[in-house]
Amino acid sequence: MSLHTRQGRTLLRLSIVFNILIVAAIFWIYSFPIDDPALTRSAADGEPSIRVVEKVVERVVEKVVEVPQIVSGASCSLCTANATLCDEMSEGSVEASISYRGTNQRLRRALAKMRSGKPFNVAVVGGSVSRGHTLKEDPEETCKANLHRRIFDHLDAKFPGKGEAFISLPSTESKKGEGRNGFVNGAQGGTGSDYFSMCFQEHIPTDVDIVIVELAINDQNYLEFQRPYELLLRGLLDLPSQPAIINLQTLALPLHALVSGAIPHTAIAQYMDVPTISLQHAVMPQILRDEAYTKQVFVVHDDGEVDGRHLSRWGHQKMGDIVNAYLDTQLCEMDRLEAAEKKRTGKSDIDIDTLYKLDPLPRLLTSDQWDPKRTIPALRPTCASMNSPNKPVPAKNDGWTEWAWKDKNYMITKTPGSTISFEVNTGIGIVQIFYLRSWEFHLGVLKCWLDDNEAAAVTMQGYWDQKFNIGQRYDVAKDASPGKHMLNCKFLGKDGNKASGDEFRIISVMSI
């Protein structure tokens, strides 16, 4: 929509409002006693009625303009922040994208620090959409078309650091000590919260201010995905830098369910007070009405096939713009809060720790039973991942080798009977294997156990019949004694299913 059209609409609305005020003023004059002395004198002195009307209108306008000053958020809307976005997608679609707002206390605290001139880091925890798969720019993870880079650039333009921003692929490095802002895209294709809950620290700096989490299509619509997602959020929020989290939910069509991990994620995000923004809520109604809209939202390959898993450049742009508009609404609300705080204290500056004070994290997990005394301790998971510099180092190895396909790295075997062992350390007794599940790679069965207790071994199947490939965790132990243990695994080969085969792929070894 053109600037002239928007201006015309604004003038029309103002004209309508003005006419309503005149009618209201006339109704006021003839229906109620005039108790304003100035107006009473004007009427008694024979001043023309139209002048009395004008004075009444002035009084009405004075009352009307007071309203936005006391109604929170009256002018801090998404469409005020980005009118063009709302013209392109419709106001209703953009507003529908805000799945959960929460208090935004952490986000406002982070933004207040940025506004005070402090350098900041933005990091990403997500899957192949966050990596920018199919954007066809090198590197896709950090190119300007990537939705997360779009968000960082928006903040970096508002609150520039010293010198050039630090832009990086998965990394634990931070340049805040040099006064530079940083963006680290730690996304890993085909991974969900069961991996990142243990391994996020292998892919992003811990000195982070805002973490964008996008895992709703890699996690599935089962309750079992609530716990790792909650552990992920808790682990991130419990970092010494006290970062804010923005939970993003994109969408994918060819999954086991139309709405995937967004359902268990949203419940946890509300419990942890994490704002949630959903592109699915913004575009799915139109997709259901008109399938052709998928060609706008998703990548279309050269053969005309719609890739219903990965966003188009348009999808990346709109998701990024919605988040940026949301950030601007928070800055707008902060202007009001800070103005009120300065008026209250009589000071020209605000104290960030006072105005944006953080409450402690919920002391219980959502899956816990009520206990008035129990408090979850800070969780410190350990992770040795094939997709990080900290790779798992076998203590024993007979028949396993490192192998990679594009950007995905594995410890792999194709020999039934091959064995591998890793030394692990646990604090609360949980030891896990993260491995690939696939319907097309003919994966077999792995058997694992701790120490010499092979009688308590568990088995995990690499093959499944769901039409996508993704990493998945398996608990080898849930109540091991604290301390060091030896994790032993043996590849059993096929499981009797014709589609399974003589191959297995380990991604990471994890414990907590």
CA nearest to 277, candidates 187, 212, 194: 212
Among 204, 235, 232, 203, which residue's Cα sits nearest to residue 218? 232
- Tokens encoding 141: 């993870």
Q: What are the DSSP E strand ranges found in 364-418?
A: 382-385, 396-398, 401-405, 408-413
Dump pLDDT digits (tens) for 230-268.
Answer: 999 999 999 999 999 999 999 999 876 777 888 889 999
Predicted confidence (pLDDT) at residue 37 exceeds the cutoff of 60: no
pLDDT digits (tens, 9 = 90+) for 417-467: 999 999 999 988 999 999 999 999 999 999 999 999 999 999 999 999 888
In the chain, pLDDT over 70 holds for what percent of residues? 85
pLDDT at 182 over 60: yes
Using CA atoms, how far residue 418 sits from 20, 461, 481, 504, in Å, is: 83, 16, 27, 10
Query: What is the tens place of the pLDDT at every residue in 58-74?
Result: 443 333 333 333 334 45
| pLDDT for residue 466 | 86
The domain defined by 382-511 folds into Jelly Rolls (2.60.120)
Cα 75 to Cα 15, 17, 44, 290, 336, distances in angstroms? 20, 17, 41, 33, 11
Average pLDDT, the chain: 87
* More confident site: 4 or 471: 471
**What tokens were used for 418?**
């091959």
Q: In this structure, what token pair is assigned to residue 221?
A: 């619509």
Q: Is the pLDDT of residue 21 over 60?
A: no
Domain ranges across the chain: 3-70, 78-355, 382-511
Q: Are 124 and 187 in contact (CB under 8 A)?
A: yes
pLDDT in the model for residue 15: 52
338-362 mean pLDDT:
95
CATH architecture of 78-355: 3-Layer(aba) Sandwich (3.40)
The mean pLDDT of 118-144, rounded to a whole number, is: 96
Structure tokens at 15: 């004209």
The whole-angstrom separation of Cα 422 and Cα 394 is 5
Residue 16: is its pLDDT beyond 60? no
Pairing state between β 419-426 and 396-398: antiparallel
**Each residue of 93-121: pLDDT tens digit?**
999 999 999 999 999 999 999 999 999 99
> Which residues, in sequence order, are bridge partners of residue 182?
121, 166
How far from 373 is each of 52, 273, 380, 390, CA to CA, in Å?
A: 68, 22, 22, 37
pLDDT tens digit sequence for 191-218: 999 999 999 999 999 999 999 999 999 9
Buried b (16+ CB within 10 A) or exposed e, 80-106: ebbbebbeebeeebbbbbbbbeeebeb
Q: By the 8 A CB rule, do 166 and 207 touch?
A: no
